[in-house]
């Protein structure tokens, strides 16, 4: 890190600690040339994530919107808010780690369904019925039969 006083290119970290919210790291540095101390703040750079919807419109990824849909699917089930929040955090983290600027809503929907299937089968069926927009009871039964077949294996 370049010294703000003498512009020397090298400095050493004297102290490092996270801020109260944990999202930023505060570092005290000392210039190796002039000895002047200064503070820097380090944050994780997150790329804006754009969701491409089925109708080809684009909107920013909204974690709260995803969490609300998971909460709705898990309504009156034995799933805690912490479990739902963890599920959404895992999906958000996977999307951020993919390093893609845009992601199709279908990819997000499939990720939610995979995680819900492992967490609570009823919540999975609820989410799938809305997400896949079943046209009739036959399509709904087909999805239930797939779930039963997987459970038998």
Q: Would you kindly state where each structural domain of the chain is located, as residue ranges? A: 11-43, 50-152
Q: What percent of the chain has pLDDT over 90?
A: 60
C-alpha to C-alpha distance for 108 and 91, rounded to whole angstroms: 8
C-alpha to C-alpha distance for 129 and 126, rounded to whole angstroms: 5
Q: Does residue 121 surpass a pLDDT of 70?
A: yes
C-alpha to C-alpha distance for 58 and 104, rounded to whole angstroms: 9
pLDDT one-digit tens code per residue, 15-72: 999 877 667 899 999 999 999 999 998 887 667 899 999 899 999 999 999 999 999 9
Q: What mean pLDDT is reported for the chain?
A: 88
Count how many Cα atoms sit within 13 Å of the Cα of residue 135 in the half-sphere of its side chain.
0
C-alpha to C-alpha distance for 102 and 87, rounded to whole angstroms: 20
Mean pLDDT of 75-91: 93
Cross-strand pairs, 11: 31
What local confidence, expressed as pLDDT, does residue 57 receive? 96
């Amino acid at each position: 890190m370049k010294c703000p006083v003498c512009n020397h290119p090298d400095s050493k970290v004297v102290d490092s600690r996270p801020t109260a919210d944990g999202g930023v790291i505060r570092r005290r540095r000392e210039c190796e040339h002039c000895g002047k101390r200064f503070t820097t703040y380090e944050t994780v750079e997150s790329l804006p994530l754009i969701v491409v919807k089925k109708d080809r419109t684009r909107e920013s990824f909204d974690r709260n919107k995803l969490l609300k849909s998971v909460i709705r699917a898990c309504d009156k089930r034995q799933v805690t808010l912490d479990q739902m929040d963890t599920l959404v955090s895992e999906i958000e983290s996977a999307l951020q780690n993919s390093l893609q600027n845009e992601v199709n809503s279908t990819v997000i929907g499939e990720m939610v369904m995979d995680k819900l299937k492992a967490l609570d089968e009823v919540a999975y069926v609820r989410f799938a019925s809305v997400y896949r927009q079943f046209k009739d009871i036959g399509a709904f039964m087909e999805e239930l039969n797939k779930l039963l077949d997987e459970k038998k294996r």
